[in-house]
Amino acid sequence: MVVFDEARGELLVHGGVPVGMTSAVGETYAFDGAAWHLRTATGPALQNAALGYSVIDNLTVLAGGFVFDEQIRSNETWHWNGTNWSAGVARDRLHRGSSFGYDRDANVLLYIQGADSAAAGTTTLWAGGTWGNDATMSKNFESIQAWDPNLRRMISFSGLGALPLDRMESRIAAELTWTQMLPPSKPPGRRAPGMATDFARNEIIVFGGQTNEATRLADTWIWNGANWRQVFPLQLPDSYGKLVWDSTKQRVLMFVETSADDSHSELWTWTGTNWQQLPRC
């Protein structure tokens, strides 16, 4: 689980199940632009939770996920203030495979329910430490989200299940519904790609992921507010990269688990034309 803490200028990586272990861990690591630091080892021990950042609240929010060793879904909400995790308001129907996206006009986090629930696709608002009412329904289960600075709306892409994996939707703050988008071209459908807004170029980047048959993808696509285009960088990370916007250094970062057993990781940045690996530290 990866997010960028804008108030403290750090890339956060939290939780999951390390190789060789049978339980999730509660460790939170931070990359400050120069080195990795263990911020705490006693955070919420969850796998596959949603992790988002609320700009107006200066808080990282973790919701849902999977209690790995108990084989149950979590309905917990947690807040990270840069030093400690604190429990927030629990909510029914928080699940694994969900995603957060930050609406920069409405100043709210949008939480799209994952695919393993009866409420899959339900979008719930989080703001000021509390959950709002279930507001909208997306058809994109286990989808990803990013803010479109050109259209001034949230963009949801791809997902999991019987529906087409290349479905694209948008939502503006004044509306309570998602609207399907039909651009002239778009990336092939996929699960779990990386997606982030490149505010330096006013574009959204999608990278990698996997097909329903678990085939790894390593392609790069750019959304400019009107259409998608595929780009062909000279260097490519492995798939399963998680993308975030680094507001401190004004760049898109990708956290990539590189080995077959996901025991090693790399950091990459997007230059506008190419992926560039950062030195290991």
192: burial class by Cβ within 10 Å (0-12, 13-18, 19+)?
A: buried
For residue 174, the model assigns a pLDDT of: 65
The residue length of the chain stands at: 281
CB 231 within 8 A of CB 244: no
For residue 184, the model assigns a pLDDT of: 94
For residue 261, the model assigns a pLDDT of: 44
- Establish if 173 belongs to a structural domain: yes
For residue 163, the model assigns a pLDDT of: 54
- Establish if 243 belongs to a structural domain: yes
What is the residue range of 113's domain?
48-277
Query: Residue 261 is inside which H or E element, if any?
Result: none
- Establish if 223 belongs to a structural domain: yes
Number of H helices, E strands in the chain: 0, 26
- Establish if 79 belongs to a structural domain: yes
For residue 9, the model assigns a pLDDT of: 96
For residue 262, the model assigns a pLDDT of: 46
For residue 61, the model assigns a pLDDT of: 95
- Establish if 39 belongs to a structural domain: no
Q: Domain of 190: which CATH number?
A: 2.120.10.80
- Establish if 230 belongs to a structural domain: yes
Task: Show the low-confidence residues of the chain (pLDDT under 70).
Answer: 17-24, 68-71, 93-96, 114-121, 133-142, 159-165, 173-174, 176, 238-239, 258-263, 281
What's the number of domains the chain is made of? 1
For residue 65, the model assigns a pLDDT of: 79
